[in-house]
Amino acid sequence: MFHMPAIDMVATGRNITRLREAAGLTVRDLQDVFGFATPQAIYKWQHGTAMPTIDNLVVLAAVLDVTMDDIVAVNVSVKAQISA
């Protein structure tokens, strides 16, 4: 058994919300940046029910002027067994 890292989607969503607010951006501002027709994807990110795709994560980090590591919360307490 060893600890396998896993993304904590809820904590990541909280990070997105906190960083967006710290940057002085609204959900509508992010919607415009990504060219989304509706803000639903951003709300899903913030609530931890969905994750941004890698390309959207890169853009999000650039817009928020942070690293991707600042956005993504990783939980390392998940135990997994590797079988060969």
Alpha-helical regions (H) of 1-84: 9-22, 27-34, 40-47, 54-64, 68-71
Position 78 scores a pLDDT of 60
Among 3.40.630.30, 1.20.120.350, 1.10.10.10, 1.10.260.40, what is the CATH number of 2-80?
1.10.260.40
Q: What is the number of residues in the chain? A: 84
Round to whole Å and give the CA distance between 17 and 23: 10
Round to whole Å and give the CA distance between 74 and 72: 6
Tens of pLDDT along the chain (84 residues)? 667 889 999 999 999 999 999 999 999 999 999 999 999 999 999 999 999 999 999 999 999 999 999 999 999 876 655 655
Position 6 scores a pLDDT of 92
Domains of the chain, by residue range, sit at: 2-80
Cα–Cα nearest to 16, from 42, 46, 39: 46
